[in-house]
Structure 1
Amino acid sequence: MKDVSEYEALYDFDKKNEDDVIYWTSEIDKLDSHLFSFDKKTVYNLFEDYPDRLTKEQKAIFDRENPYWVKFFGS
C-alpha cells in the first residue's frame, strides 16, 4: 500500500464497471501490475496487500466486485 496523492498524474485510474467502487490502475511504464484504489490516493498491490491490509469494509467491497480474485485466492 502506498500513498500516491502527490503523484496522481503517474497513475491511470479506471473502473471495470460504472457502478464499482474500486478503481484499477497501473504505474506508467509498468505492465502487469495489479494495483487498485478505493479513493485514488492510496494504492494497494493485489498480491502484497490483499486481504491483510484492507479494512473489513474494503475487503467486502473488493470481494463483491472481484469474484475472480476471491476464487483465485481461495477466500
Structure 2
Amino acid sequence: MPNIWYKNKETDTIWWKDDPTVIGVWIFSFDKTTEFNMFHDYPYKLTKEQKQIFDKENPEWADFIKDRK
C-alpha cells in the first residue's frame, strides 16, 4: 500500500504522511519531498518560516512541544 499524503485543512500548507505500516511516527512535509519527523526534527531542522507555518497550522502540537528550542 502506498503512502498517502493529506492535509488537515484544505487551506493548510503542511502535508501529513499516512503510512499504515508504521505506528507512532508523525511525518510531515511542506512539499511532499522533504520529510520531517515531528518528534525528532521539530523545531531543529525547520527554517524559521517553516516553524511559524507549523505552529500556526498545528497550535496544539506547538504547545505540546513548546519547550524544545
TM range (shorter): 0.7 to 0.9
Which amino acid is 2:44 matched to? Answer: D
Aligned partner of 2:47 among 42, 46, 55: 55
TM-score (norm 1): 0.80
Which amino acid is 1:16 matched to? Answer: N
RMSD: 1.6
Partner of 2:31, secondary structure, is coil
Moved segments of 4+, more than 6 Å: none
In structure 2, stretches of 5+ residues that fail to align are: none
Partner of 1:32: 24
- More helix per residue: 1 or 2? 1
More contact order relative to length (CA 8 Å, sep ≥ 6):
1
In structure 1, stretches of 5+ residues that fail to align are: 1-8
The number of residues matched between the two structures is 67
TM-score (norm 2): 0.86
Partner of 1:4: none
